């Protein structure tokens, strides 16, 4: 269910003075993971938002395993791992492209809300799409 969806190159701006990627950067890569999974399954997030289905992050978990280094290529794996009536969970695995080593694993939970901020049920078509993914 979690599959390779994108590759990103570590920028100098992503590193900190410990000589590794700073912990705040990985949540950006998680965003890439879910956005590209959605795109590759025919439903770009931009389109979902236009239809009034917003999926803000309500919970996030990150397990940093090995430091990503400057200029590394990171292979971003992502995909849905759980679907509920009004929420959705995406899982991620960020791997060093060179050897497949896991740099960071984690997940994010998303509520489904309408543009006015009210929580709502996931539309049936999205539930179906995500269930296939899971």
CB of 63 to a copy of itself, least distance (A): 5
Least Cα distance to 90 among 41, 47, 124, 46 occurs for: 41
Indicate whether 32 belongs to the interface with a copy of itself (CB under 8 A). yes
| Secondary structure letter of residue 21 according to DSSP | B
| Secondary structure letter of residue 33 according to DSSP | H
Indicate whether 116 belongs to the interface with a copy of itself (CB under 8 A). no
Binding mask 72-111 for a copy of itself (x = CB under 8 A): ------------------------------------x---
**φ/ψ of residue 34, rounded to 5:** -75, -35
Indicate whether 54 belongs to the interface with a copy of itself (CB under 8 A). yes
d(CA 15, CA 98) in angstroms, rounded, equals 19
Count of positions on this chain that bind a copy of itself (CB under 8 A): 35
**The Cα angle at residue 64 between residues 60 and 65, in degrees rounded to 5:** 145
Indicate whether 71 belongs to the interface with a copy of itself (CB under 8 A). yes
CB 92 within 8 Å of CB 107: yes
| Contacting residue, 1, 60, 81, 129, with a copy of itself by CB under 8 A | 60
| Contacting residue, 61, 101, 128, 134, with a copy of itself by CB under 8 A | 61
């Amino acid at each position: 269910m979690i599959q390779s969806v994108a590759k990103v190159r570590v920028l100098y701006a992503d590193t900190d003075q410990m000589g590794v990627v700073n912990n705040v950067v990985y949540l950006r890569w998680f965003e890439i993971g879910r956005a590209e999974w959605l795109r590759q399954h025919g439903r770009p997030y931009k389109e979902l938002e236009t239809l009034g289905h917003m999926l803000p992050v309500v919970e996030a978990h990150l397990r940093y395993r090995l430091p990503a280094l400057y200029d590394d290529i990171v292979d971003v794996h992502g995909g849905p791992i759980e679907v509920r009536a009004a929420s959705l969970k995406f899982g991620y695995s960020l791997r060093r492209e060179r050897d497949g080593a896991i740099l960071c694993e984690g997940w994010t939970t998303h509520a489904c809300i309408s543009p006015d901020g009210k929580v709502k049920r996931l539309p049936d078509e999205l539930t179906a799409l995500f269930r296939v993914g899971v």
